[in-house]
Structure 1
Amino acid sequence: MTSKPDADARLLDAHDLALAALAEITPASTVGPAAGYLAEEDGSVSLRFENRLAGYPGWFWTVTVARVEGEEPTVLEVELLPGDGALLAPEWVPWAERLAEYRAHQVELAEAAAAAGDDVVPGEDELAAEEDEDLDDDDLDDDDDDGEADILHAGDLDGVDIDELDDAGADDEESDESEDDDADALDEDAGEVDEEE
């Protein structure tokens, strides 16, 4: 069993130095009171401060300080590190329970709004704004449809004359019919030759 190294008292008291280092990377409002320390094997000390930065519950601002014999303490590292359990997901709550909590909260908000004399239920403004956006999108879709209809009804599509295509198709049909007639005539001639033999 290894014992923890004894921490240098001057390093333990270097809170002002640690706070000054933190001030260089984060606003003072995100740093809470001192939250202990960790003595490292190499003689350095990691001073911890509570974190008030949103989105990082259970994390700590950590400033590692060290001292060479005869010198003042100096900062080695400044970082935001997770505390015990900070990286674990919270206990799972079934959807039905979460939905019930959400609905109860909406009822509370509606009651509070009614008590304050507000006619608008919280959330209605957002819903109305979403409906307006949906209407705008529908208008845009209608405009797009009208534009497509204009293109489809035009006689000229992307530089191609549709009437010419129809005429070309008719010419192709006529040539196919004449080829069929020629083939039938050849078949008849061949049949007559076979009968004479």
Structure 2
Amino acid sequence: MTSTPEPADERLLSAHDLARAALYEITAPATVGDAAGYTLEEDGVVSLRFHNRLEGYPGWFWTVSLAVVEGAEPTVLEVELLPGDGALLAPEWTPWAERLADYQAAQAALAEAAGESADGDADEDADEDDDDALGDLDDMDAADFDEDGSPILHAGDVDGVDIDVLDEDADADEDDEDDEDDEDDEDED
């Protein structure tokens, strides 16, 4: 047994002024276009659609759902911006773990494709890269080292600040304290 929808109340179909007034409470009048039809909902509710003029929402419609309560004038139930057929929509949300797995699979496929396109020369390329890294050491000269013989960039550098310099200041303070302690010891004797 199928049910036929109730015929639309003519007062709801012609309540465009009421629908526009409700829309103007939530959006600027310039964003609301011409009437774009209606949808019959359950329980005699009618949703009037209006073209949307908001940039970034092509194919979306302002929708105002109206109803008539017995013995009263039409009233607004809901006002919203809804996508129409062919509207630009965001993709469905995918959990991070799935996106990461997809990304890793794509990276592995790219690496495999790059290895196959080299016709087995991937191992030779890896050996050449190792030789290049060691070759950089041969290019170093005395200007590439600090006064103490350590490389300019080493684990002691923090954001370009050589912490060894800071240690030298601390060593100087300790030496001064040691000298004062020695003088105190001599005074006691």
- TM-score, with length taken from structure 1: 0.47
- Bigger Cα Rg: 1
- TM-score, with length taken from structure 2: 0.49
Q: Higher helix fraction: Structure 1 or Structure 2?
A: 1
